Amino acid sequence: MAQVRRLPQSLATNTTLFSVLAVFGIGAYCARSHLLPRVHAESNEPPAMFSGFGFTTLRLQSVKVVNHNTKRLVFEFPDPNARGGLSLTSALLTFSRPKGRWLPVLRPYTPISDLNQQGSLELMVKHYPNGKASTHIHSLVPGDTLTFLTPLKGYSWVPNQHPQIYAIAGGAGITPIYQLIRGILDNPNDKTKINLVFGVNSEQDLLLREELEEYKRRFPGRFDYVYTVSQLEGETGGLKKGYVTEELLKTVATDRGDAKVFVCGPPAMETSLIGNRGTKGILDRLGFEKEQVYKF
């Protein structure tokens, strides 16, 4: 979902750093509030909401329940002409203080809306039972606000850099993968071919399914996908039963020469694909070089 991208270990474990970031954020916000109006006045370009480090608080416009643990949330910009200003494969670092906590909680989420969209952005957020940030975000109702601290850049995608990419997503990890797919296919100058393998626990967990199927309809020669569901009663509706395995990827990743592989999913899935502490993963055994693989 809007998968929480994992923070670097230093940010994930050092709560003191959270407070330091907050202090710097306040200073950056004050500077930004003085500079942005002038920049906007001197340019015909719509203002960018996330142009650097600094607090940006947005009002929640609408909420849509997707399944038992996932919601889609639309946040509106104060200026309806503004755009996010994010580059492809970027996430946003959210800053929240759940009820009863003194220290803030920082978590990155990937927008699923068009990055050039004006007036709003959309997140898809999975609720984890013990997730401090996701529990807080799921408690929000229209009219409430959420604070964003800074954009986090991911892979620097260059159109047509690779003739073929393989995208492997597990569960909530579909969010950055979807942003990349959308950015490539919506760019008329980018001719990259994409094959997606999406593994989930149940059919209800196939997030963004309608959007992905629409892209397949629009780009039949360039985009295809395989859904594999671990808890599935038989193979129905084109769904495969099982996990993202080496046998499955052998049938999908057939062009390994100049291809690029993007991976995002639960830690166990990523370890099986990429390996860990000197052990080879599935992708290595399939013949992909280390530099061909990018993990969100």
How much is the pLDDT for 7? 52
What's the number of domains the chain is made of?
2
Question: Sheet of 56-67: strands edge to edge?
Answer: 105-109, 91-96, 145-152, 56-67, 70-76, 120-126
Binding-site residue set: 107-109, 126, 132, 134, 175
Q: Give the pLDDT of the chain (296 residues) as one tens digit per residue.
A: 444 455 544 444 443 344 444 444 444 443 343 334 334 445 577 889 998 778 999 999 999 999 999 999 999 999 999 999 999 999 999 998 877 778 889 999 999 999 999 999 999 999 998 899 999 999 999 999 999 999 999 999 999 999 999 999 999 999 999 999 999 999 999 999 999 999 999 999 999 999 999 999 999 999 999 999 999 876 677 899 999 999 999 999 998 889 999 999 999 999 999 998 889 999 999 999 999 999 99
My answer on whether 177 and 72 are in the same domain is: no
Assigned token pair, 259: 């291809």
My answer on whether 244 and 132 are in the same domain is: no
How much is the pLDDT for 42? 53
Instruction: Single out the residue of 72, 78, 46 nearest to residue 59, CA to CA.
Output: 78
Instruction: Single out the residue of 163, 223, 157 nearest to residue 195, CA to CA.
Output: 223
My answer on whether 122 and 196 are in the same domain is: no
Distance between CA atoms of residues 261 and 225, nearest Å: 14
Identify whether 1 is part of a domain: no
Residue range(s) defining the domain that contains residue 100: 9-152
Q: How far is CA 39 from the centre of its chain?
A: 29
Looking up residue 277, the CATH number of its domain turns out to be: 3.40.50.80
My answer on whether 97 and 217 are in the same domain is: no
How much is the pLDDT for 149? 93
Binding-site residue set for FAD: 107-109, 126, 132, 134, 175
Identify whether 3 is part of a domain: no
My answer on whether 184 and 134 are in the same domain is: no
Identify whether 225 is part of a domain: yes
Identify whether 129 is part of a domain: yes
Cα-Cα-Cα-Cα dihedral of 75, 81, 87, 93, to 10°? -30
Residue pointed to by tokens 């193979």: 235
Which of 97, 131, 152 terminates a domain? The answer is 152
